[in-house]
Structure 1
Amino acid sequence: MTNLTRIVLDPHNAAAKADLADVDSLHKTLMRLVPDLISPTPRAIAGMLFRTEPGPDPTLLVQTDHTPDLTALPTSYGTARTLDLAPLLNSLTPGRTMRYRITAAPTIARSAGSPTRHPVTGKRRGKITHLTGDEAIAWWRRRAAAVGLEPVTVSSLPRPFPRARSTRSSPYFTLTQFDGVAHITDNGLLTHALKNGIGRAKSYGAGLLSLAPA
C-alpha cells in the first residue's frame, strides 16, 4: 500500500523549526512515521520519499509504503492528512494526460582525463556533474521518457539544497523543481518510478514524483 501524507507545519513549533533548519533532523523525524526496519537502507525499504512544497506555509509531502503513524510526530508539529494512492496508481493507463511535479537532483557522469574503473563492474567512472538550466531540462526529459512519461510541457525552477547542522558534511546536490503536463507511455515503468523515486538525493527531499489528472 502506497500512501501520501501532507503535513502543514506549525512555523512556531520548536521541533518543526528545527527540522526546517536541519535536513538530517527532518529525515529522522519522518522515519518515525514508519515501522523500525533492520536494514542498511531503511529509507528505501520503507518506501520513504519526501519533498518540501513551495508556498506561504511550510508544507511537507511524505510518501511511504506503510500507513504512517502520525502519532509519532512531535506534539503540535502541524496538521497532517494521509491519502491512499491506490486509486491514482490504478488509473494510470497509456495515453492518459497527467500534470506532474518533481524536485530532482539532475546529474551526469562526465569523463575527465582517465576516469577510474569501478572495482566490481570494471566500467570507467566519470566525474559527477550537477546540471542546471537547459541541461537539467534535457536530463528530466530523458529520465521521464525512461519511466513511462512523455513530457508535453516542462517548466523548471531552481530549489535550494536543504541545510544540515551536522558536523559531518552532507552531500551537496543542485536541486531543480520540474512542473508540466505529460502523456503516459508505460504504466508499469511509471508505477515503479512513483513508488521508488527518480534520481539522486532521495534522503534530502528529492526524487518524489507527483501526478494528478490534467
Structure 2
Amino acid sequence: MYLSRVQIDINDRYKTKDLTHLGAFHNWVEQSFPTEISTGQRSRHLWRIDVLAGKKYLLVLSESKPDLGMLETYGVPGTAIIKSYTKFLAGIHEGQLMQFRLTANPTHTVTRPGKKQGRVMPHVTVAQQRQWLVDRAEKSGFQLIEQVPDNDSEQPATLAFDIVNREWPMLHRKVGRGVRLSCVTFEGLLRVSDVDDFKHTLTNGLGREKAFGMGLMTVIPEA
C-alpha cells in the first residue's frame, strides 16, 4: 500500500480550471495510475481533499504506486510525495491511541412503502452525522475516546472528536443530472479495538461514495 500527497495548484486557475466537481478529481486520481489503465487491472483508490494552513492537498491511498508526473497534473511542481504504507499498517496494535481524520458521506436508508429497496438519504444535522460515526466505530475496529470532565464539573463525559468541515460538493454523473453529496470531515481521538477490522477500515474506507473523495481515514499514533 502507498499513501501519496500533492499540493493542488490553486493559484494557477488556468491549470485547475477543470477541477469543478468531484468527478474531475476522481478522473485525476484514476489517470495517475497509467499502468493499471493499460493492463485493465484497476484497483480501488481512496482519496480526499485536505486544507492545511491555507494550502489544498490531494491525498491518495492505493495498492500500487501512482505515476509521479500524472499525480502532479494539477499540482504544484515538486510537491508530490509517495510513501509506503505497508510498514505503518504492520505496526498497528490493539489498544493503540491515535489521532484520526476522516472525510465521509454519512447516510441512512429510509424504508419506502411498497418498495423492496429503501432510499439512501444523507444525514444533515451535526448530531446525526456524529451519531453515524459512533454507530460504525466498534465494527470498524476502533473505539472513540471519552473526554471526562473535571471533578467539579457537572457536565457528562463527551466523545473526543469534532466535525471540522461540512460541505455539499457537486458530482456530475455520465447520465442524468448532477447531484450534491454530503461531505463531512471528522477529527479526534480513537483507540484500536480490533487490529484486523481497523486495518480493513484504513485500506478499504468507511461509508459510501468512496470513488468520489469519501471514506479515507488517516491516523497518527499519539506519543
- TM-score normalised by L of structure 2: 0.81
2:46 matched residue in structure 1: 49
2:216 matched residue in structure 1: 208
Over 3 Å counting, the alpha-carbon distance change for 1:74 and 1:178 in structure 2 is: closer
1:58-207 matched pairs, under 5 angstroms: 58-73=56-71, 77-78=75-76, 79-112=79-112, 114-117=113-116, 125-131=117-123, 132-152=125-145, 153-164=160-171, 168-207=176-215
Deviations 1:137-184 (A, max 9, x none): 111012121110101112013432333466743343212111100110
Task: Give RMSD over aligned pairs.
Answer: 2.1
Query: How far did residue 128 of structure 1 move?
Result: 1.8
Residue type of the alignment partner of 2:121: T
CA distance in 2 between counterparts of 1:136 and 1:130 reads 9
Query: How far did residue 191 of structure 1 move?
Result: 0.8
Query: How far did residue 126 of structure 1 move?
Result: 2.3
Query: How far did residue 27 of structure 1 move?
Result: 1.2
Over 3 Å counting, the alpha-carbon distance change for 1:22 and 1:126 in structure 2 is: closer
Over 3 Å counting, the alpha-carbon distance change for 1:98 and 1:74 in structure 2 is: closer
**Which structure has the larger Rg?**
2
Query: How far did residue 12 of structure 1 move?
Result: 3.3
Query: How far did residue 202 of structure 1 move?
Result: 1.2
Residue type of the alignment partner of 2:134: R
CA distance in 2 between counterparts of 1:98 and 1:115 reads 45
* SS in structure 1 at match of 2:185: strand
Whether contact under 8 Å (2:95, 2:193) holds in the other structure is yes
CA distance in 2 between counterparts of 1:204 and 1:86 reads 24
Query: How far did residue 74 of structure 1 move?
Result: 5.6
Query: How far did residue 87 of structure 1 move?
Result: 2.1
Number of aligned residue pairs: give it.
Answer: 199
Deviations 1:104-160 (A, max 9, x none): 111111224x1512xxxxxxx322221131111111012121110101112013432
